Chain A
């Protein structure tokens, strides 16, 4: 039983880290209806830039600021050169444009900073903590707390601020929002910059765990089922989806994987997401799309 709880808690905490990546998706999807595949590359780009600056002797906070500035520039450029020319095009076209964007970001990140693996130490103690006889990683707890803070801040921002109001207006009907004077390019830039910030945080946490390297951009593949279970347009859904995926994939790996062969955590979340979709085709908290002819 104790083993079961440890696996469960470990899975839940890992799930929170998936949610962090998924939140970046949700932000962009809400504001522009784009399924942004470049999110994983943003995670890689952010983490690689930060770690390379720190290795060159920069102050960590300065590096963080510089990386964030770079991500904001990317956000504005993406809006100007990719989103604006593609306004009103089919969602599938926009998705493929983000595939192109992710190739550019991956290539650029490695062109500037090289392809070797960097260690990243955030100065967080990683001795396991004993809580009621269950071992819990301090680092995971820290990551989970960070995710919770981010979710609270972002959801309050979306609910109460003037920016949140325009964001919801754009999400509801971009043309109507545009007509009443919401500045679409600015909303896009802010949202992409926010998504960049979230992916930088996610990149640092994941980077500290796995080392900063190319495989970081594959985190996007872990975040996808999370997103799909939670629904594309709900920040809270991303958290619930993350917890579900994290817990079940670890449990499945430990209890089912030993029977039918290990490595099932690569596809198990997708199977889970598919089952969820068969019951709720727009995810747990997603809004069902209404079709008109």
Chain B
């Protein structure tokens, strides 16, 4: 175990840290489309992947840089609306570029709403991300230009295609989302090992100390907001186009922000694989609970009560996780893996 590490020299990856993601990606690209049916692709795998990407984005700013954000959905909506406008107004641009520019638009907004973090610390900072949350939803509701003067309020997603590959079947949507998610996760995993990622952790762990040893705290925070919003923006575009098929401001409300926050709490703050675990949890738990609703109906609990039960279960799990395993599911998996060789 090396005890001292410098900021500039990232730890080397061990072979397993490369092999596991590679093998999962292979299974996800080649194996899953062969066996999964439309319901699994549409209702479980696509939202799972998109939410994992959103968790990755929030993890940069909250899990790694330690700046609490309650405005994830706002940045997702900026990405979605920017991508929509590029798709509709500049049809000549290819889809990947639209997504990239949508992410950049969201990153710019992230820097803007991250600016107060240079002066405001701790809980006072949530005012800034909440301001983003409420202001952005209001802006997209009131200013007709953003929705291309569509009067219905709910925009339907335009036809997606990359070159001649039309993205209109469940399998193609899944592969499209999977491709984007793979790129972003490869980017994220190397980012948090880079010098910048180390700076973020130093700022998170003790800001005053980080400043004393010469870390540019302000710039690191702003970059955290920018990169976080970039990833969230792309996640938002995928959420609207590949999962929902529609875009409306209310789809990106505070609840979605909280969901993304729960993903990183449950999955693990400051963990890359944790985003997948947390997203899987968030997507699967409601499905499990509504399947259990059939059994509960015999016990005199109605279907509408399931939603309330779900809230109680969720809230309890969050508290239990924070008390027992603050590093989330990712840490639990790690513990299990480390114990196994001893047992055998």
Contacts and interface: CB of A to CB of B under 8 A. Distances in A.
A158 interface: no
B121 A289 contact: yes
A128 to B, nearest CB: 30
Contacts of B322: 86, 89, 93, 96-97, 100
19 contacts: A85-B323, A89-B322, A89-B326, A93-B326, A101-B315, A102-B315, A105-B315, A106-B308, A221-B130, A224-B130, A225-B127, A263-B141, A263-B142, A266-B138, A270-B134, A273-B127, A274-B128, A277-B124, A278-B120
Nearest to B113: A274
Interface in B195-221: 206-209, 212
B208 A292 contact: yes
Contacts of A100: 314-319, 322
B134 A266 contact: yes
Given A266-B134, A293-B206, A261 B312 contact: no
A93 B311 CA distance: 19
Contacts of B126: 224
Nearest to B210: A293
Given A106-B308, A266-B134, 4 more contacts: A82-B319, A232-B124, A270-B130, A270-B134
B9 interface: no
Contact of B127 (A104, A228, A289): A228
Give the interface centre of B119, B141, B319 by most chain A CB atoms within 10 Å: B319
Contacts of B305: 111
A104 B131 contact: no
A113 to B, nearest CB: 10
A139 interface: no
Nearest to A112: B308
A98 B254 CA distance: 16
Using C-beta atoms within 8 Å of the partner chain, give the interface range for chain B: 35 or more
Contacts of B141: 263
A264 B138 contact: yes
Contacts of A105: 315
B312 A108 contact: yes
Contact of B119 (A115, A261, A278): A278
A283 interface: yes
Contacts of B143: 261
A21 B124 CA distance: 17
A89 B304 CA distance: 36
B224 to A, nearest CB: 15
A277 B312 contact: no
Contacts of B312: 103-104, 107-108, 111
Interface string A260-279: 11011011001101100110
B79 interface: no
A281 interface: yes
B318 A270 contact: no
Interface of B: 62, 66, 68, 116, 119-124, 126-128, 130-131, 134-135, 138, 141-143, 206-209, 212, 254, 258, 261, 265, 304-305, 308-312, 314-319, 322-323, 326
Contacts of A95: 68, 123
B208 A293 contact: yes
Nearest to A93: B322
A103 B311 contact: yes
B309 A107 contact: yes
Nearest to A34: B123
Contacts of B138: 261, 263-264, 266-267
Nearest to B320: A100
A274 B318 contact: no
A110 interface: yes
B319 A101 contact: yes
Contacts of B122: 91, 289
B151 to A, nearest CB: 15
Contacts of A267: 131, 134-135, 138
Give the interface centre of B119, B258, B265, B322 by most chain A CB atoms within 10 Å: B322
B304 A115 contact: yes
A15 to B, nearest CB: 17
A221 B130 CA distance: 9
A107 B312 CA distance: 5
A105 B254 CA distance: 18
Nearest to A279: B119
B127 A96 contact: no
B70 to A, nearest CB: 10
B135 A270 contact: yes
Contacts of B68: 92, 95
A251 interface: no
A165 to B, nearest CB: 26
B142 to A, nearest CB: 4
Given A271-B135, A277-B116, A293-B209, A97 B319 contact: yes
B116 to A, nearest CB: 6
Contacts of A99: 258, 261, 315, 318
A89 B323 CA distance: 9
Interface string A212-230: 0000000001001100100
Interface in A163-206: none
Nearest to B310: A107
Contacts of B124: 228, 232, 277, 281-283
Contact of B123 (A35, A107, A264): A35
A291 interface: yes
A191 to B, nearest CB: 18
Contact of B308 (A111, A225, A232): A111
Contacts of A283: 124
Contacts of B207: 291
Nearest to B123: A35
Given A86-B323, A95-B68, A232-B123, A106 B311 contact: yes
B210 to A, nearest CB: 10
